[in-house]
A = this chain, B = another copy of it.
Amino acid sequence: MGFVADLRAAWRERDSLLCVGLDPDPARFPAALAGRPQAILEFCCAIVDATADLACAFKPQIAYFAAQRAEDQLEALIDYIHVRHPGVPVILDAKRGDIGSTAGQYAEEAFARYRADAVTVNPYMGRDSVEPYLAWDGKGVILLCRTSNPGGADLQGLDVGGEKLYERLARLVATQWNGGGNCALVVGATFPAEIARVRALVGDMPLLVPGIGAQGGDVAATVAAGQTTDGLGLALNSSRAILYAGADEDFAAAARRAALTTRDAINACRAARAG
C-alpha cells in the first residue's frame, strides 16, 4: 500500500472526494477556546472528529502552526488522526522545495517527525529537488502544478514550446517522476479548463484541488473537468468554509453541516458512484 492506494480506498469507502483543510487561525476560534494552551490542537481535533466520516483526507497547513510556535500541536494532531481515524490519509501542506541534502531534511520533517502520509512540494527546482521525497516508500508527493491564485499564471501560464509551463510539469511528473506511483498534482478549482487539460495529460493520477469553498471555485465545473471515468480522481479541499462555518461553541457541529453539504454537492456532480 501507499498514499495513493490509501486515498483511493478512502474515496470508495467513505463515498467522498472532500479533503478537509486544517488552517487553524486562533483569531477565528470560538471564545471558549481563548487562552487555552492547546487551543489549536483542541480546535483541530474537534473538527477532525466532526468530519472524519465525511472526508477522504485531512490537510493541515504547516504555516498556521509554525507562525504560532505550535509544531508540537501539529505532531499531536497528526498522531490523533492516525489513531482515531486510521482510514483517512494526512497530507502535510508545506510546499517545500530545495535541493538534495536539504530536501532530505524536509522529507524527514514531513514523514518521520510529523508522520504525514503525503506532503505538498514545489517543483521549481526540478527533479533532483523532488527525489528525496520519492525515496520514501509509500509516501505521497503532491507537486504544485497550476495553483488557484491570480498570480499563478505569472510563471505557470507561460508558453514553453507550444504548451504552458504547468502542462509541461504535469507531463514531467506523469512520464518521468512517478515511477513509484505515489505522485499527485495540485490544480486550482478556479480554472476548470486547466483541470481538464491536466487530467488529459496524467491519466488517473490524483489531483488535489484547493479553491472550492472560501475561494469560490465552481464544484460542478471542477468535478466535470477533473474526475476520472469511475467518478473518482479528485481530492477537493475546503478549509475556511468548514472550519469557520460556526463561531460559537457549536463550531464542530456547524463544521460537520458544512462538510456534509459540500460532500453531497460534490457527489451530486460525479459521473459514477463507487459502491
Known: A127-B154, A151-B126, A153-B126. A97 touches B99 (CB 8 A): no
Asked whether B129 lies within 8 Å of A151 as measured between CB atoms, the reply is yes
- Does residue A191 face the partner (Cβ distance < 8 Å to B)? no
8 Å CB contact of A71 from B64, B71, B150, B152: B71
Q: How far is the CA of A125 from the CA of B148 in the complex (A)?
A: 9
Copies of the protein in its oligomer: 2
Give the number of chain A interface residues (Cβ < 8 Å): 51
Asked whether B165 lies within 8 Å of A151 as measured between CB atoms, the reply is no
Known: A160-B165, A165-B158, A165-B160. A125 touches B144 (CB 8 A): yes
8 Å CB contact of A122 from B67, B97, B172: B97
Chain B residues, Cβ within 8 Å of A112: 67
Q: List 20 A-B contacts (CB under 8 A).
A: A63-B96, A63-B98, A63-B102, A64-B102, A66-B109, A67-B106, A95-B96, A95-B97, A99-B148, A122-B122, A123-B124, A123-B155, A124-B156, A125-B147, A126-B149, A126-B153, A126-B156, A128-B151, A129-B147, A158-B161
